[in-house]
Amino acid sequence: MRLILASSSQRRLDLLARIGVVPDAVHSPDIDESPLKGELPRAYALRLAEEKARAVPHDPGTIVIAGDTTIALGRRILPPAETEETQRNLLGLLSGRRHRALSAICVIDREGRARTRLADTIVTFKRLSAAEIDLYVACGEGLGKAGGYAIQGRAEALIRSLSGSHSGVVGLPLFETRALLEAAGYPFG
């Protein structure tokens, strides 16, 4: 049975390996990730995960898995940090506040049915000084990441509390992922 990971994320490959899953192929989905007008963060994350799964070519009988991690501050969807300036602004917004890391998973089974799950994790940053933000931005690990940080790196030392799925914040909630793969008939051995 073939399994395709619809992602260009090395983090997702590494996380799948933690539960003994090695995809047969990895394809990077090409979709528009812009939020729809009035779209709320949960719906956005679930929609992107399913669109990514459906966007990669696959043969019938193949299982496809895709994910999306969205950082939400209230009803606001925070973008990935594409520049250092954006990253500074994002970290300033998150400083001393709680936010949600919404990690959606979509698995398309061998019959073409899509199943989705969402891990909702509450993350609280400590109050960050300008110097702490500058030091974190200078390390470079948060560029390109949703919300401007990578919890699996130096940012973990800036997190005061986390309630939910740590692996979900990294990029793939392993509990939900395993459940969806089992439901799709993936053979865990």
169-183 confidence digits (pLDDT tens): 999 999 999 999 999
pLDDT at 1: 83
- How far is Cα of residue 159 from the mean position of the Cα atoms in its chain? 17
Percent of the chain beyond pLDDT 70? 99
Burial of 1 (0-12, 13-18, 19+ CB in 10 A): exposed
Per-residue pLDDT band for 72 (boundaries 50, 70, 90) equals very high
Average pLDDT for 58-69: 95
In the chain, the N- to C-terminal Cα span, in Å, equals 13
pLDDT on residue 42: 98
Which of 14, 32, 68, 120 is an active site residue?
68
Q: Determine the pLDDT at residue 188.
A: 87
Whether residue 189 has pLDDT greater than 90: no
Give me the mean pLDDT over the 14-24 stretch: 97
Query: pTM of the predicted model, to two decimals?
Result: 0.94
Whether 68 sits among the annotated catalytic residues: the reply is yes
CATH code for residues 3-183: 3.90.950.10
All structural domains of the chain with their residue ranges: 3-183
- The pLDDT score that the predictor gives to residue 185 is 94
How far apart are alpha carbons 111 and 72 in whole angstroms?
Answer: 33
Confidence of residue 8 (pLDDT cuts 50, 70, 90): confident
In this predicted structure, the answer to whether residue 63 has a pLDDT above a threshold of 80 is yes
What is the token pair recorded at 22?
């090695």
In this structure, the number of other CB atoms found within 10 A of the CB of residue 122 comes to: 12
